[in-house]
Chains A and B, each alone.
Chain A
Amino acid sequence: MKVSKKVLQAALLGTTLLANSCQLIKTAQEAQENGKNKLFKNEANKGNNTNPEYCCPACGMG
């Protein structure tokens, strides 16, 4: 089925942001678990699509 180019481009950008935010939160969680930076996770929560719950269960990192 044909999906409009506009929707596909937005999905690619959104997915990239989602992947980056997941990685950012994973790094933040690891840092927090290691006691390196207790505020980093909260910092990562600012902005669109960076809620860590977007990563859980979707990316399995939660």
Chain B
Amino acid sequence: MPKVLSTVSCNLDSNLLFSVLPLLESERVEAIEWSFDALYSFEQIPEWFTDLLSEFSQAGRLIGHGVFFSLFSGKWLPEQSQWLESLRQLSQAHHFDHISEHFGFMTGADFHRGAPLSIPFTPGTLAIGQDRLKRISEACGRPVGLENLAFAYSLDGVRRHGAFLDELLEPINGFLIFDLHNFYCQLHNFEQDVDTLIRNYPLKRVREIHISGGSWEISEARPERPVRRDTHDHAVPESVFELLEMVMPRCPNLKYVVLEQLGPALNSEKERLDFQADFFKMEQAVQNFNRQQQGREIHDFLPMKYTLNAVPLEDEALYQQQIQLTDILENAGDLKSAQAQLIACGLADSDWQARYWAPEMLDTAINIARKWKNGF
């Protein structure tokens, strides 16, 4: 009977590893998730880290989580070809139980640095996303999934996100990573009711759940209500643990629950102990859930056979809009200037519908884009 596995993100990061190693030593960690593309610029990964990955790979308990593919960049870029080739090679070196990526396009000079932002939900972007997902699936030969995005420009985007993910994933028999902190951001930032909004997500596709912490940011556009951001730099809030207990029983194909946190936020002994405490709490919730399951069978999400076009799908107009938007977010003097520029360049009344973006979320997008403008 497949049980849900208590999992940690595990990357080549000393702070994160110092936090995770005691959990590994006590045999509490049942699987690890590796962001395999975060270190592509290095000639080689240390042997000791490869050995650690191999232990989980051989047990069928290694999952890969990409960050930098930039699924929706309008133009197919050389970095995407390189990314796929690296994935192809890594998938031969390691047995990944599945591979996942993030929703959105990356801001930043080359769309492979920066932070993911959302895109218009149109037939054109849907076709691009489906084409790219097929290429990821073909490269790795494993189940492929996407993570829901925390950031949204408007309530309309929040309401439609789940259905769009479902359509994207359908042709590849793909799965959803339901990041509960991202969902929590949307619930808070758009004052949504959990029972209403969760119905918009295809929970039958959820194979993996993420939990993590984040931070509050005051926007001058709406100072009375701080914006919740998915910064992965704090302990997991109680509300997210409550969501975990509520959501697990609604996900019939769930296999992994993953605790994530960024290394720079695990610098002190107290932060590392808090991370471990969060793991124990997550583990308890997962064990309670597993005890209640009888004769559970889960969907395998195995890849299907595809006919791929020789040339990846592109949308030059979308690409130009992404460049315009990124430029405005990174360089506009302030929120009002950004709003004026969005109107002047036509994005306000395009498929992006920037005229209707919540001002505090545009302000947040400006902060996100500037934070990651020059990469890490």
Q: Which residues of A contact B (CB under 8 A)?
A: 1-4, 7-8, 10-16, 18-19, 22, 48-49, 51, 53-54, 56-60, 62
Contacts and interface: CB of A to CB of B under 8 A. Distances in A.
B42 A60 contact: no
B238 interface: no
A16 to B, nearest CB: 8
Contacts of B11: 58
Contact of B59 (A1, A7, A58, A59): A1
Interface of B: 11-15, 17-18, 21, 24-25, 27, 29-31, 38-39, 41-42, 46-49, 51-52, 55-56, 59, 61, 262-264, 375-376
Contacts of A2: 27
A11 B14 contact: no
Given A57-B38, A57-B375, A22 B31 contact: no
A13 B30 CA distance: 22
19 contacts: A1-B27, A1-B30, A1-B31, A1-B55, A1-B56, A1-B59, A3-B29, A7-B55, A8-B25, A10-B51, A11-B21, A11-B49, A18-B12, A53-B42, A54-B42, A56-B376, A58-B263, A60-B376, A62-B376
B297 to A, nearest CB: 22
Contact of B12 (A1, A8, A54): A54
A58 B47 CA distance: 17
B30 A19 contact: no
Contacts, number: 81
Nearest to A22: B14
Closest 4 CB pairs between A and B? A57-B376, A19-B14, A14-B48, A10-B48
Contacts of B30: 1
A6 B27 CA distance: 14
A49 B49 CA distance: 12
Contact of B18 (A4, A15, A56, A58): A15
Given A8-B25, A58-B263, A3 B41 contact: no
A1 B61 contact: yes
Given A1-B30, A2-B27, A56-B376, A14 B61 contact: no
A38 to B, nearest CB: 22
Nearest to B61: A1
